Amino acid sequence: MTQTIATPPSAVARRAPSKTRVGALRRSKRRRSARTRGGQVNSQTVLAARRRLNPLGSYTDAGGRTREVIAGRRGDGDVLVVDRDAVTLGDRRLVAHLAADEPSENAALVCEHYLHDEHRGRCRRVSAEDLTGRPSTAQGPQPGPASEDPHRAELLGRRGDERDYVYRLELVRTEHAEAELRWRRHSRRAGPAAPTPVCVRDVIGAVESYEPVCGLTLRALAMYRRDPRVSTAGLREELGRVRESPIVLNRKLRQAVLAAIEHRDLSMSEIAYRCGRIKRGCKGGACGETSWLARRLGILPESGTDRLGSWVHSDVLALIARDGLGISPREVEL
């Protein structure tokens, strides 16, 4: 039997501990065994990926910046689909909030629809409440010390006639055996006045803030999630429509326009003119259509009404921000 001459190990191999090589080999085997013959990831790999940030897709925005869509599982099991700057990892926007019991494939489906949506910029910023699953005390007007119970919270209107009303989440009796969870508006004026059921959008418009309306609504929905005596379908649908709608609050845009008029020597007419809203006089002179701009900002009431508007289409918000003020629409989004 012929003996084989063994080649002496190199200096690097002599210094490397054997456990490292064994560990690397085991990890390599685990990675190879994570895939089936058809190239599909098995269930263990899917579970591992769900515990960390999972890149879903990317795109280039109007400013030429690369952005990415990721999914991350929260401590309570819910999944957040987030749009963020791929370079700075900042400017995070909430695309979707998926419940813990939803299939993991839903995140990829949400991303696919999001990337094909021309109005991607209407997503709001990710809040501390989104990341922790608990109400944040640093956002907007707060419901007060009774915030743990959504039924004890009272929200006041901010402007005009809305200051005469207070909004509460209440159980409303229906013709059916079950009660219905609804927002209701109560008058603060003297005299008997029956409370009026209102939708989530009306409450948000009255207080001119998404929070704490959305936070209280979510907390109440969770409270009665498994209670067969209380119907929450209507309130849940209202909240979903608000989140998906391209119609957004105009409060921050109004503040930006008024600040530009005060500090940048701009006028309402000039801002409207930059947006292409031009009216011409009988002598041929041209100026900006200030009434159009004032209605979009909620400074003048819409035609045929006497109430100031709190909403603007996201496309119009982007037009006024970019062309009228020369700033990014994200700076005037709530």
Instruction: For the full predicted model, state whether its pTM sits above 0.75.
Output: no
Which domain, by its residues, includes 269? 249-332
The model's pLDDT over 95-110, given as tens digits with 9 standing for 90+, comes to 888 887 778 788 888 8
Nearest in space to 143 (alpha carbons), one of 219, 235, 92, 80: 219
Q: Do 177 and 240 fall within a single domain?
A: yes
Treating both helix axes as pointing N-terminal to C-terminal, what angle do 290-297 and 251-263 enclose, rounded to 10 degrees? 130
Q: Do 202 and 258 fall within a single domain?
A: no
The arithmetic mean of pLDDT across residues 270-296, rounded, is: 89
Which helix (H) or strand (E) segment is 56 a member of?
A: strand 54-60
Domain boundary among 190, 214, 245: 245
Q: Do 234 and 254 fall within a single domain?
A: no
Q: Do 227 and 261 fall within a single domain?
A: no
Domain boundary among 245, 261, 296: 245
Calculate the average pLDDT of the chain: 78
Pairing of strands 179-187, 230-231: parallel
CA 34 to CA 220: how far, in whole Å? 42
CA 13 to CA 18: how far, in whole Å? 9
Residue 320 pLDDT: 95
Q: Do 260 and 283 fall within a single domain?
A: yes
CA 286 to CA 280: how far, in whole Å? 4
More confident residue, 84 or 144: 84
Q: Do 217 and 258 fall within a single domain?
A: no
More confident residue, 94 or 130: 94
Query: What are the DSSP calls for 270-308, one per residue?
Result: HHHHHTT-EEE-TTS-EEE-HHHHHHHHTSSBPTT-SSB
Domain boundary among 184, 217, 245: 245
Domain count, the chain: 3
SS3 217: helix
Q: Does residue 18 belong to any structural domain of this protein?
A: no
CA 247 to CA 205: how far, in whole Å? 11
The model's pLDDT over 210-242, given as tens digits with 9 standing for 90+, comes to 988 999 999 999 999 888 889 999 999 999 999
* β partners of residue 197: 184
